[in-house]
Each structure stands twice: as C-alpha cells, then as structure tokens.
Structure 1
Amino acid sequence: MGIKKGNAPKTFPAELELVGGGESSKLRLTYHNRKPSELADWLKELEGSDAPFLPSMVLHIVKSMETDYSLSLEGVLEMEDERPGICDAIIAGFHQTRRVTLQGN
C-alpha cells in the first residue's frame, strides 16, 4: 500500500513562475500542507477581523519564501502594493501544487 492515512507531508516546496508589471520572475517558497478543513477553521477565526484577507491567507499557507520581503503582514502588503496580484498568484499556486493529479496511465 503506497498511500497511508495521516502520512501526507506537512510542507511542500514550489516554484512559481510569475509574469506581470513588465517583469518575469520565479518565486521559490515552501507551503504548509493545510487541509481544506483547516482552511475552513481558519476562515471562521478570521471572520470579523480587520486583517486584510489575501495577505492573511498568504501568511497562513506559506512557511517560507525566497524574497527580500519579510514573511509578515507588513512584508506581504508591501509585496502586493509593488506587485499587484501576487497574493492571488501565491494562493492559486498553493491550490494548484497541493492538488493531486494523475500521471501516466
């Protein structure tokens, strides 16, 4: 048996190819392997908060990233201000990279 319950990795690496604002770049990062149920619980906790949603979600799913921006609310807000849409791209990369796909067959 190759797949065992409770044996999924706790984190996973990714390299996102980002294009926009006249530049093309790669962002290497490590995501926390958050389950949909964990994300739902986190969303309930965030309800009523003044915290900006997308930057907060980036902080919840990203363990580390190779960039000069700090992995803090201020750093993610600065990154989004300079490169609009990057938070959405990071979140989309999480879902795309985490999703199981069929190879071959």
Structure 2
Amino acid sequence: MAIKKGNAPKTIKAKLELAGGGETNTLDLTYHNRKAKEVQDKMESMKKSKAPFLPTMVLFLVKEWDTDYSLSLEGILELEDERPGICAAILQGFHNNRMVALQGN
C-alpha cells in the first residue's frame, strides 16, 4: 500500500506497560494522531496558561483510556498524584507510538 498524503490514521491504539511505585500496570488507550505542528502549537499556547502543563498535554493527546480515572484535568491530576511520573510516561508513549520505524530490509 502506498503512503498517501492526508491518509494517516486519525487515532492510534496503544498498550503502555508501566512500572513504578512498587507495581506494574498496563494502560490501554487511544491517542489522537496529532501532527507535530499541532503539538508544538499546543505547547506554545501553554506558555501563557496557568493550567498544569503535563496533565493538559495528556488531555490534548489522549482520546480514550481504559481506567476508572476520568479523562478530565481533574482525573489526570488525581492519577498523577497517586502515580507520580505517569503523565510523562503517557506523553513518551505518544511519541513512541507515533514514530515510524522500518520493518525489515
């Protein structure tokens, strides 16, 4: 199948394997397939905002997830409070899952 302009998937399903705080968890989620320019623009707009940066970026990038924490700023803040560093891991997962990799050759 040829790569066609504008034909990239709108979402990316991912399964994140997370370890820390004495536990190991799997988080199934779906990311919005945001373009690099969209992410940069959001980051730029956050410079003037008082909203917490990492939780706001998680909310911008994640479409849905399989956890009983609400996919809201409040839910993400609660998750980060209970499991410090999880927002950074979710953002890293976005970049890892969005990145194209060579399969063979």
TM-score bucket (shorter structure): over 0.9
Corresponding residue for 1:36?
Answer: 36
Q: Deviations over 1:65-102 (max 9, x none)?
A: 00010000000000000000000000000000000000
Residue 79 of structure 1 corresponds to 79
Deviation at 1:11, TM superposition (A): 0.4
Residue 2 (structure 1) shift = 1.0
Paired residue total = 105
The percent identity for this pair of structures is 66
Residue segments in structure 1 that go unaligned for 5+ positions in a row:
none
Q: Deviations over 1:33-81 (max 9, x none)?
A: 0001111111222221100000000000000000010000000000000
Distance 1:60 1:23 in 2: 27
* Match of residue 91 from structure 1: 91
The CA RMSD over aligned residues, in Å, is 0.8
The CA distance in 1 between the partners of 2:53 and 2:84, in whole Å, is: 14
1:80 partner SS: helix
Aligned to 2:91, what secondary structure does the other structure show? helix
- Determine the C-alpha separation between the residues in 1 that align with 2:17 and 2:94: 13
SS at match of 2:67: coil
Deviation at 1:20, TM superposition (A): 0.5
Helix, strand or coil at the partner of 1:77: helix
Q: What CA distance in whole angstroms lies between the structure 1 residues aligned with 2:40 and 2:97?
A: 19
Residue 5 of structure 1 and its aligned partner are, at CA, apart by 0.4
Normalised by the length of structure 1, the TM-score is: 0.97
d(CA) in 1 for partners of 2:2 and 2:45? 35
Give the Cα separation in 1 of the matches to 2:44 and 2:56: 13
